[in-house]
Amino acid sequence: MFRLSYRLPTALGGLRHASSAAGEGQRTALYDFHVQRGGKIVNFGGYALPVQYTDQSIIASHLHTRQVGSIFDVSHMLQTRVFGKDAAACLESVCTADILGTPEGSGGLTVFTNEAGGILDDLIVNKVSEKELYVVSNAAMKEQDMGIMSAAVDNFKSQGKDVTIEFLTPTDQSLVAVQGPQVAKELSKLLAKEASLDQLYFMTSFVTTLAGIPNVRITRCGYTGEDGVEISVESSQVQKLTESILESGVLKLAGLGARDSLRLEAGLCLYGSDIDSKTTPVEAALAWLVSKRRRTTRDFPGADVILGQLKEGVSRRRVGFQMLGTKPPPARSGVAILSQGQQVGQVTSGCPSPSAGRNIAMGYVAENLKAPGTKVEFKVRDKLYEAEVTKMPFVKANYYNKPNK
């Protein structure tokens, strides 16, 4: 039986509520708004962000997102713009995506890789036009990612290529994620008359006027498995935008706690927990991020290693798990995975699933144990608990995909 008790999810369990301005991290433009609305502030990756709000538990917030919709402040993420006729080729030199072949107005998930094939970060690249890219990457890897992209730009410039880069700071530009089944309906009420979300499919993006605010970029994507958008807006306007979205009373504010359990149910990786510089896309079950054309050109960092693994296989693989038995404790990051008394892997993320009503996890196991239905054991606080490999996502994805013709 699933227990309706909950503590901070995998990535947040070590955080404490900030008690002073010096210890809480950098503030986003919505910081005062969060505090006024009852946000419980924690230091997450150097930023002061709400883990939850006093009007809802993490479970209630999680379920409200799945059933109705929620607003998340994700302004800590790194937003970047790359310009020039060689912008796509430049960014391709450090990631695995086929940006040159991506249609204008579309984007996708990709990864920066190192020469050993390890994942340096995951990011979304939107192709605004043939001469402009809009990139969103992880806050925790901000300094590294700025270095990777700046070095690529400098390298191309030294060859006489046309490319420049602009890093947007949270002081100037904010980012809010609005996720859930009622989001499109609620946002449509605030759109300029000439705009519509009907043709804005998953991983597409456009600039419009929203809630009377011009030059707002809306991208159909998110980190929950639900239909939703991420909205890039000037920081001077983000509170007005957020208040306008909340005004109808349908959508609610949500924090990092719900965001982490939602992404785990969706089978999505958290950088630094589920993927890192020693994990390849093949091991992480993310081989689909290595585009077909790039497999042929073999011109991204670590190509020989990754393409070799695609051909020869790997010794371990990221998989999902569900725990079995009566009232097992959740398996958190670092829990050992055993088979026939021998350790065969390790949990990287785990939590109770409010939607599925059972404890779920993801982690890495030996390649011969990756098949769904394979029984293993988790060693939690020196006791063994039965679990089995299961397909991910743990809940049905509800992305707003373009219909097949």
The answer to whether residues 59 and 186 belong to one domain is: yes
The answer to whether residues 72 and 176 belong to one domain is: yes
Which residues lie across from 207 on neighbouring strands?
217
Q: How many domains does the chain have?
A: 3
The answer to whether residues 50 and 186 belong to one domain is: yes
- Which is nearest to 381 in space by CA: 327, 344, 339, 332? 332
Q: Which pLDDT score, from 0 to 100, does residue 8 have? A: 52
Is 148 inside any structural domain? yes
pLDDT tens digit string along 275-300? 999 999 999 999 999 999 999 999 99
Residue at which a domain ends, from 266, 300, 324:
266
CATH number at residue 322: 2.40.30.110
Is 258 inside any structural domain? yes
Is 141 inside any structural domain? yes
The answer to whether residues 67 and 190 belong to one domain is: yes
Residue at which a domain ends, from 168, 188, 210:
168
Is 110 inside any structural domain? yes
Q: Which residues of 3-19 are buried (b: 16+ CB within 10 A; e: fewer)?
A: eeebebbbbbeebeebe
Is 201 inside any structural domain? yes
| Per-chain mean pLDDT for the chain | 94
Is residue 11 predicted with pLDDT exceeding 70? no
The mean pLDDT value for 163-178 works out to: 98
Q: Which residues are annotated as a binding site for substrate?
A: 230
The mean pLDDT value for 235-258 works out to: 98
The answer to whether residues 361 and 246 belong to one domain is: no
**Range(s) of the domain holding residue 238:** 26-76+171-266
Please indicate, yes or no, whether the overall pTM of this predicted structure exceeds 0.75: yes
Is 396 inside any structural domain? no
Is 297 inside any structural domain? no
DSSP 308: H
Q: How far is CA 356 from each of CA 97, 249, 254, 352, rounded to the nearest angstrom?
A: 33, 26, 20, 9
Is 405 inside any structural domain? no
The answer to whether residues 65 and 182 belong to one domain is: yes
